[in-house]
Structure 1
Amino acid sequence: MSGATVNGRVTLVTGAAQGIGAAIAERLAADGVVLALADMAPAERTAAVADDLAARHGVAARAYQLDIRDGEACRRVVEAVTADFGGLDALVNNAGVNTFGDTVELPEQAWVSVIDTNLNGTYRMSLAAYPALRERRGVVVNLASTAGHIAVKGSAAYAVSKAAIIHMTRVLALEWAGEGIRVNAVGPTIVPTAMNAGARANPTYMRDKLASIPLGEMVLPQDVADAVAWLASGSARMVTGQTLFVDGGATII
């Protein structure tokens, strides 16, 4: 994947200030991608990531503050990116949240919050970016999860949001193929990030989780980033509507 043809392409990554999003930004910067990094974190935090990548990789990178729960904010950020860089070639819908606990004990507001951020946020950003992507025959890469493909106890809202993202990926790929826009997703199993630090601190959970992965280890953020980079590149020019599971074999059991 290191030879992916993406140099100079303008890519907007949401949730880019930390975790998987920051790893995706790092990987794309190494490929020479022009980066628009969006996050709801304080502006200076995302700007520090952008400045660091620009300095180390010699790429253009700019930070944008964004709450993907706000459709108008999504549109404003896309407009700002296209004004700053002249267009948009790829959107990486990475921003998301999780909540843990049995479904019967999950507060309704927690369910609503996860669905609104993960599923509706991906929807809002995709629609906001559509006009710009149509101009460039661009690419969308969504972040899904193995939890959207197989049943996982204690994460119903997250799992349902990711399952819906997988199917929305198929629908948008079909609807937008005529404009030359490819839409795909990456579905990792557990990745060590701050979002799941609490779950990873539970030895029983980790024992059972690793036992469910044939290769026997967690996915690294860089593994996800490599998959995203490939799907966003010209090397995947005939791939659309697919979810690439980066899961050590978890979905084949």
Structure 2
Amino acid sequence: MTQKIALVTGSARGIGLATAKLFIEQGWKVAMVDRDGDELSTAAAPLTEAKPFAYDVSIPEQVDQMIDAVLSVFGRIDAVVNNAGVADFLPIEETSFATWRRIMDTNLDGVFLVSQAATPALKETNGAIVNIGSISGLRASTLRVAYGTSKAAVIHMTKQQAAELGVFGIRANCVCPGPVKTKLAMAVHSTDIISAYLDAMPLNRYGSENEIAEVITFLCSDKASFVTGQVIAADGGFETTGVGLPALRK
């Protein structure tokens, strides 16, 4: 059986790196993409079934070059995981247009550009697209006017992709992580922020990078062959619950 190839953007660290490693455990080869070339090379070095590709997904010319390079090395693409993203949490009045554009460039434009460029290859393999949204794209919260809006747009883009590309056998789904125990989150989430999240989450804990990767790789696999156009919140129940849960626990 031909070994499958996954292209994972933003894979130098965090959820992207966890996803690349899990794909390899499941028998795939991985094209690891990140604009941070040095960290990408370090992350990919011990992974014999992965190759690093240092490109910026927000730049159209680099995306085209990246797809060509991946196909040159691997010959096919069976799944695309659009994980690359940036965040900047600011009040609306303090969010400059430059900040807005920087976030949209990667979080929204990058998903569009990579998916579009990879579509011909995915047609050949009846492949899958998994876009990484966020709980912030499903629920509004403070300081996320740019980030949350970008992720909400990614959620809808996923549905557009599913509607249009299904005729070619291409599936498109979106995973929306809730609070995840990454190095970045632990560095910026104060004790008060962590307590507030835990109070609002039925599972009462942060998720792990690997737990998100499990959902991503499932959606790329043949086990999800009849699943497309879906938005899955891997969030410990955060999106499901509303006002009153903390009080009810007491």
TM-score (norm 1): 0.91
Question: Cα RMSD over matched residues?
Answer: 1.5
What's 1:234 paired with?
222
Secondary structure of 1:37's match?
A: strand
- Structure 1 residues 69-101: Cα deviation after superposition (integer angstroms, max 9, x where no partner): 101111111111111111111100000011112
Identical residues among aligned pairs (%): 35
What's 1:122 paired with?
111
Contact 2:123–2:170 (CA under 8 A) maintained in structure 1:
yes
Aligned length: 241
What's 2:143 paired with?
154
| Pairing of 1:161-240 with structure 2 (within 5 A) | 161-200=150-189, 202-240=190-228
Q: Which runs of 5+ in 1 are unaligned?
A: 1-5, 55-59
What's 1:21 paired with?
16
Letter in 2 for 1:216: N
Determine the C-alpha separation between the residues in 1 that align with 2:83 and 2:217: 13
What's 1:76 paired with?
65
Note the C-alpha offset of 1:198.
4.3
**Structure possessing the higher relative contact order (Cα contacts under 8 Å, 6 or more residues apart):** 1
TM-score (norm 2): 0.92
Letter in 1 for 2:165: W
| Pairing of 1:79-158 with structure 2 (within 5 A) | 79-158=68-147
Determine the C-alpha separation between the residues in 2 that align with 1:181 and 1:215: 33
Change in 2 beyond 3 A, CA 1:85/1:34: same
Contact 1:97–1:195 (CA under 8 A) maintained in structure 2:
no
- Structure 1 residues 180-209: Cα deviation after superposition (integer angstroms, max 9, x where no partner): 000001111011224434431x22222212
Determine the C-alpha separation between the residues in 1 that align with 2:176 and 2:101: 22
Q: Which runs of 5+ in 2 are unaligned?
A: 242-250
Determine the C-alpha separation between the residues in 1 that align with 2:81 and 2:2: 16
What's 1:3 paired with?
none
Letter in 2 for 1:39: D
